[in-house]
Chains A and B, each alone.
Chain A
Amino acid sequence: MKPDDILKFSLADFTYNDSDEVLSPPEDFETWIEDPRVQMAMSFFEQPLEEAPTPRTTIERGISGESRDMINLTSYNYLGLSTHPEVVEAAVEAVEEYGVGASGAAMLSGTFDQHIRFAEEIAEFKGRDDCMLYPSGYAGNLGAIQALLQRGDVLVIDDKCHRSVVDGAQLAGARLASFRHNDPESLDAMLQRYEDKRRLVVVEGVYSMDGDLADLPSLLEVCEHHEVPVYIDEAHSSLVFGEHGKGVAEHFGVSDRIGVDFGTLSKAFGGIGGFVCADEDIIRYMKCYASPFQFSCALPPPIVAAMRKSLEVATRDSSLRDKLWDNVEQFRTNLEALNLDLGESESQVIPIIVGSSGQQLMELALAAQQRGLYLQPIDFPAVEAHGRRFRISVSAQLTEEDIDEACNIIEDTIAKPLNSG
C-alpha cells in the first residue's frame, strides 16, 4: 500500500484476511492502521469516560491521554435515566438484596422475581400479550430473528437497519433481502420477488445514523397487501416517541398492526438489555429456540430493578419527554441558523453531515474535542462514503446553557470551516 493511498482505505477494506495464519491480521491492515493519520482517527475510539454519561462529564482524551471536562453530545442517555436518583437508588437496593449477577441462564436459574415483574410491566406498557428479556439489544434482535426464521425463509429489511438484524438473518440461515430506505415501491418489489417464501419485514422506529422515522403508514400498507408481518426495532424510540412513550408505532397510531415490538434498555432506559414483545404463543416458542436467550446469563437483577424504576419514572408523566423535545427544538433552531446539513432528522438523533472527506471529518472532530465538545465522528463504512457525519444525541438533561455553549463550539469548529470551504 502506497503512503498516498492510505487515506483512501477504511475499515471496510480489510474484512477478508489473506494471511496464511489465522492469528495474524492481514499485512496491509497492519500497514494501514499503524499510519499516524489513521492512528489519529482511531484515537477517537474507546476514549474512556471517567464519570457518568451526563451532559457534563470527564473523558480521558485518546489523542493526548489528558483528562478533560467536556460537554457530552454522544451518549444515548436520552432521558437522563442512567443517573436519575430514583433509578440509582433502586439499583443500589437491589444489589444489597440480590447481589451483583443473575448467576444463571434465564431458563434454569437466572430468572428472578424482578425479571418476571419487569417483563409483565413492559408488555403492559407496550399493550402486548407478553415480553421476553435479553442480556443486550444486540442479543435481542439476534435471538428473536433466529427463533422466528429458518433456512428457506426471507428476512426483508430496510437497508438502513442495524447490524444486529443482519446478523439475526445470518444466524437463522434465512435469506436476507433489503429494500431502499423507507421506499414502499422497493419493499413491494422485494416482497413480490419472494412471494412464495415465508417472509418477515423489519424496520426501525428511529434510524440511528440519520434520526429519521420509519414511514410506517406507507410501509404497513404494502406489508398488509402481501400479508407479511412487521417487526419494528424501537431501540431509539421507546420512551421517546408517542403520547405515552411507547414508540414510533404509537406516534403513527399503528401499534395494533405490528407483529413484533423490539426495544433496548440501553438508550432512553439508561441501562442495558433488550426486550421483545409479541403474542403469548410466539414468545413462548421464541424462548425455547432463541440461542442468545437460552445460552446467555440473564440480566443482573439490580439492572432489572433499575429498569423497572426507569419505566415508572418515564411513564408517570410526560415531563422528561417534554424536556427532551424542548431541547431537541432548541438544538435544531440553533443548528439550522448555522447553515448545517442536518439530513432528514425528525428525532433526538441529529446528524451534522460533513460529506465525503474522511480527513476533514477527523480534523473537525479533533478541533471540536479540543474545545471541550465530546461529539464523535461517524465515518465510512458506518455511513455512506459521501455522507460522513457527526451524530448528536440530545438529552433531556442538557440545560439551555449547555446547548448554547455546545452550539458555539459547533459554530467555531465545524460550521465555519464547512461554510468557508
Chain B
Amino acid sequence: MSEERTKEDVIEIIKANLKENLHDVDIEEITPESSMRDYGANSLDIIEVVSATMRQLEIRVPRSELSQVENIDQLADKFMEYL
C-alpha cells in the first residue's frame, strides 16, 4: 500500500495535517517550498503534523533526522526515504 505513494501524495497528507492543526490556514495557499512556521505553526503543531503524517504513512523517522529540514518539500523527501 505505502509503496504506491508518490511524493505528491505525501505533500498532500502533510498539507491536510497542517490545515487540521492550524485551522486558520487555507490548504490552497500552502506551498511545498514554505516552512510550516511560515503559516504560524509552533513547535507543538509541527510535532503533531509530523506524528500524524508518519502514522498515516506507517513509517517511523527519527526526529533527530528532521531537525534540519527547512520546508515541506524537504520533509516529504525525508519521508519518501522511509516508504
A358 and B63 CA atoms in complex are apart in Å by 13
Instruction: List A contacts of B44 (CB < 8 A).
Output: 166, 170, 176
Decide: A177 and B62 in contact? CB cutoff 8 A: no
Decide: B68 and A12 in contact? CB cutoff 8 A: no
Greatest chain A CB density within 10 A among B43, B55, B60, B63 is at B63
A8 and B64 CA atoms in complex are apart in Å by 7
Q: CB of B51 within 8 A of chain A?
A: yes
| Given A15-B51, A16-B51: A380 in contact with B43 (beta carbons within 8 A) | no
Instruction: List B contacts of A177 (CB < 8 A).
Output: 40, 42
Q: CB of A159 within 8 A of chain B?
A: yes
| Chain A residue, CB-CB nearest to B52 | A16
Annotate A55-89 by CB proximity to B: 1 below 8 A, 0 otherwise.
00000000000000000000000000000000000
Q: CB of A129 within 8 A of chain B?
A: no
Q: CB of A385 within 8 A of chain B?
A: yes
Decide: B40 and A193 in contact? CB cutoff 8 A: yes
A170 and B42 CA atoms in complex are apart in Å by 12
Instruction: List A contacts of B64 (CB < 8 A).
Output: 8-10, 12, 356, 358, 380-381, 385
Q: CB of A256 within 8 A of chain B?
A: no
Q: CB of B33 within 8 A of chain A?
A: no
Shortest CB–CB separation between residue A359 and chain B, in angstroms? Answer: 12
| Chain B residue, CB-CB nearest to A28 | B60
Q: CB of A13 within 8 A of chain B?
A: yes
Decide: A9 and B67 in contact? CB cutoff 8 A: no
Instruction: List A contacts of B51 (CB < 8 A).
Output: 15-16
| Given A8-B62, A10-B62, A16-B51: A385 in contact with B67 (beta carbons within 8 A) | yes
Give the size range of B's interface with the partner.
10 to 19
Decide: B63 and A10 in contact? CB cutoff 8 A: yes
Shortest CB–CB separation between residue B65 and chain A, in angstroms? Answer: 7
Decide: A15 and B43 in contact? CB cutoff 8 A: no
Among candidates B40, B60, B62, B68, residue contacting A386 with C-beta atoms closer than 8 Å:
B68
Annotate A1-13 by CB proximity to B: 1 below 8 A, 0 otherwise.
1000100111011
| Chain A residue, CB-CB nearest to B37 | A178
| Chain A residue, CB-CB nearest to B45 | A176
Among candidates A28, A166, A193, residue contacting B43 with C-beta atoms closer than 8 Å:
A166
Interface size on A, residues (CB 8 A): 28
Instruction: List B contacts of A386 (CB < 8 A).
Output: 67-68
Q: CB of B47 within 8 A of chain A?
A: yes
Annotate A251-268 by CB proximity to B: 1 below 8 A, 0 otherwise.
000000000000000000
Which residues of A357-393 have CB atoms within 8 Å of chain B's CB atoms?
Answer: 358, 380-381, 384-386
Shortest CB–CB separation between residue B3 and chain A, in angstroms? Answer: 19
Among candidates A8, A15, A193, A381, residue contacting B65 with C-beta atoms closer than 8 Å:
A8
Decide: B60 and A13 in contact? CB cutoff 8 A: yes
Instruction: List B contacts of A358 (CB < 8 A).
Output: 64
Decide: A13 and B62 in contact? CB cutoff 8 A: yes
Decide: B68 and A178 in contact? CB cutoff 8 A: no
Instruction: List B contacts of A175 (CB < 8 A).
Output: 40
Decide: A385 and B68 in contact? CB cutoff 8 A: yes
Decide: A178 and B67 in contact? CB cutoff 8 A: no
| Chain B residue, CB-CB nearest to A155 | B42
Decide: B55 and A381 in contact? CB cutoff 8 A: no
Decide: A9 and B40 in contact? CB cutoff 8 A: no
**Residues on B facing A (Cβ under 8 Å):** 37, 40, 42-44, 47, 51, 55, 60, 62-65, 67-68
Listed A/B pairs (22) with beta-carbon separation below 8 Å: A8-B62, A8-B64, A9-B62, A10-B63, A12-B63, A12-B64, A13-B60, A13-B63, A15-B51, A16-B55, A28-B60, A159-B43, A166-B43, A170-B44, A178-B43, A380-B63, A380-B64, A380-B67, A385-B67, A385-B68, A386-B67, A386-B68
**Residues on A facing B (Cβ under 8 Å):** 1, 5, 8-10, 12-13, 15-16, 18, 28, 159, 166, 170, 175-178, 190, 193-194, 356, 358, 380-381, 384-386
The 8 closest A-B pairs by CB, nearest first: A12-B63, A385-B64, A385-B67, A8-B62, A176-B42, A16-B51, A9-B62, A380-B64
